[in-house]
């Protein structure tokens, strides 16, 4: 079967296509999944470019979607033919956060889904939303679930809330879609007027070009009558966090999801304290969170925005496209 491996020390030129043996029969509690799609995330980019140390070789990609083609003894949740999607933290099934690193994450600490078939414990997957293509399902493992947990699980999103989403990458576009589906008002930032216009077509109520509006935190407060956003989807990190704090209402919630602008920096702690804002870091979510997300998708009929799809041997080109920053929503790979 076709598979891609990343050779140590990493780098896009170290991705190599190989022919691997087909997996055999699943054991007790296991399923064999014929994979058909994955999607790109910043975390995957960190791994493949060598910024996150890997073993001598690793099969990359945390997201995987496909079809169950065999079930082992004792598996009752899945049947042959079920469309399924992988879980980011296979060992985090339910309850509060149980992991604080990437040692168990497919594509990072263990082999991932840039291959045609895999045998795993059944609990490493959930069913995909009814009617979703494999590409659409593959966008949920990391980006979709991150947005869902930030807004609903941690943020307690309710109709009438104001959500500020930074940028137009996968997580932020999912946040826009989920928030609108649940009756929220959404503000989106970007440096591209073209992308902001596209965000409007998805329901964004207000948009801000942060290149022209450097004090965009004040702009958010102005649009909300001086109150500020109830929730902020913060993907930038140290360079954007001060403005996110300024944009957030007293007692609001900031979900710290990304660190695109660096790993450290100054934080206006006095303002954070005075406005009594809850700043919460998060990394994706549990299997139960993902099952809840799938049910919500089926109820609201939301569908991911896929910018472009590449073939598996062109995975390096897909990451180069991600590097360009031209994408809007998700980049997928299908085979």
Whole-number Å distance between alpha carbons of 327 and 307: 6
Closest CA to 164 of 268, 243, 84, 56: 243
Out of 3.90.180.10, 1.10.10.10, 3.40.50.720, 2.60.120.200, select the CATH number for domain 2-139+304-334: 3.90.180.10
- Whole-model pTM above 0.85? yes
226 exposure class (CB count in 10 Å sphere: 0-12, 13-18, 19+): exposed
Q: What is residue 76's predicted lDDT score, i.e. its pLDDT?
A: 98
Helix H or strand E segment including 16:
strand 15-19
Q: What is residue 326's predicted lDDT score, i.e. its pLDDT?
A: 94
pLDDT in single tens digits along all 335 residues of the chain:
999 999 999 999 999 999 999 999 999 999 999 999 999 999 999 999 998 877 789 999 999 999 999 999 999 999 999 999 999 999 999 999 989 999 999 999 999 999 999 999 999 999 999 999 999 999 999 999 999 999 999 999 999 999 999 999 999 999 999 999 999 999 999 999 999 999 999 999 999 999 999 999 999 999 999 999 999 999 998 899 999 999 999 999 999 997 665 667 778 889 999 999 999 999 999 999 999 999 999 999 999 999 999 999 999 999 999 999 999 999 999 99
Q: What is residue 329's predicted lDDT score, i.e. its pLDDT?
A: 96
pLDDT digits (tens, 9 = 90+) for 276-300: 999 999 999 999 999 999 999 999 9
Q: What is residue 56's predicted lDDT score, i.e. its pLDDT?
A: 82
Burial code of 3-29, b = ≥16 C-beta within 10 A, e = fewer? Answer: bbbbeeebebebbeeeeeeebeebeee
Q: What is residue 276's predicted lDDT score, i.e. its pLDDT?
A: 96
Written as one string, the DSSP assignment of 233-251 is EE-S-TTTHHHHHHHEEEE
Out of 2.60.120.640, 1.10.3720.10, 3.40.50.720, 3.40.50.300, select the CATH number for domain 144-281: 3.40.50.720
Q: What is residue 238's predicted lDDT score, i.e. its pLDDT?
A: 87
Both tokens of 197, joined, read 């216009």
SS3 for the chain is CEEEEEECCCCHHHEEEEECCCCCCCCCCEEEEEEEEEECCHHHHHHHCCCCCCCCEECCCCCCEEEEEEECCCCCCCCCCCEEEECCCCCCCCCCCCCCCCCCCECCCECCCCECEEEEEHHHEEECCCCCCHHHHHCHHHHHHHHHHHHHHHCCCCCCCEEEEECCEHHHHHHHHHHHHCCCEEEEEECCHHHHHHHHHCCCCEEEECCCCCCHHHHHHHHCCCCCEEEEEECCCCCCHHHHHHHEEEEEEEEECCCCCCCCCCCCHHHHHHCCCEEEECCCCCHHHHHHHHHHHHHHCCCCCEEEEEEHHHHHHHHHHHHHCCCCEEEEEEC
Segments making up each domain of the chain, as ranges: 2-139+304-334, 144-281
Both tokens of 133, joined, read 């293509």
Q: What is residue 55's predicted lDDT score, i.e. its pLDDT?
A: 76
Whole-number Å distance between alpha carbons of 288 and 294: 10
């Amino acid at each position: 079967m076709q598979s891609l491996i990343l050779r140590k020390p990493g780098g896009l030129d170290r991705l190599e296509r190989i022919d691997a043996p087909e997996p055999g029969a699943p054991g007790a509690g296991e399923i064999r999944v014929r994979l058909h799609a994955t999607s790109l995330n910043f975390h995957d980019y960190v791994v493949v470019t060598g910024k996150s140390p890997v073993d001598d070789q690793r099969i990359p990609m945390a997201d995987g979607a496909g079809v169950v083609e065999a079930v082992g003894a004792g598996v009752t949740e899945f049947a042959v033919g079920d469309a399924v999607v992988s879980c980011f933290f296979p060992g985090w099934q339910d309850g509060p956060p149980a992991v604080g690193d990437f040692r168990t994450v497919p594509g990072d600490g263990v082999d991932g889904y840039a291959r045609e078939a895999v045998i795993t414990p059944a609990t490493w997957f959930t069913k995909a939303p009814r009617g979703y293509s494999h590409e659409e399902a593959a966008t949920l493992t990391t980006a979709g679930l991150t947005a869902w947990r930030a807004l609903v699980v941690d943020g307690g999103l309710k109709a009438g809330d104001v959500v500020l989403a930074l940028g137009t990458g996968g997580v932020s576009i999912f946040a826009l879609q989920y928030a609108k589906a649940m009756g929220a008002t959404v503000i989106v930032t970007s440096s591209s007027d073209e992308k902001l216009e596209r965000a409007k077509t998805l329901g964004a109520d207000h948009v801000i070009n942060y290149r022209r509006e450097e004090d965009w935190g004040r702009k958010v407060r102005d649009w909300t009558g001086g109150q500020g956003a109830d929730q902020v989807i913060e993907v930038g990190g140290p360079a954007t966090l001060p403005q996110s704090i300024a944009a957030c209402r007293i007692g609001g919630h900031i979900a710290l999801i990304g660190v695109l602008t660096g790993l450290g920096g100054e934080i206006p702690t006095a303002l954070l304290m005075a406005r009594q804002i809850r700043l919460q870091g998060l990394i994706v979510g549990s299997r139960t969170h993902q099952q809840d997300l799938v049910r919500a998708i089926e109820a609201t009929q939301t569908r991911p925005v896929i910018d472009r799809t590449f073939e598996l041997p062109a995975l390096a080109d897909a990451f180069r496209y991600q590097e360009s920053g031209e994408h809007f929503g998700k980049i997928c790979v299908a085979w």
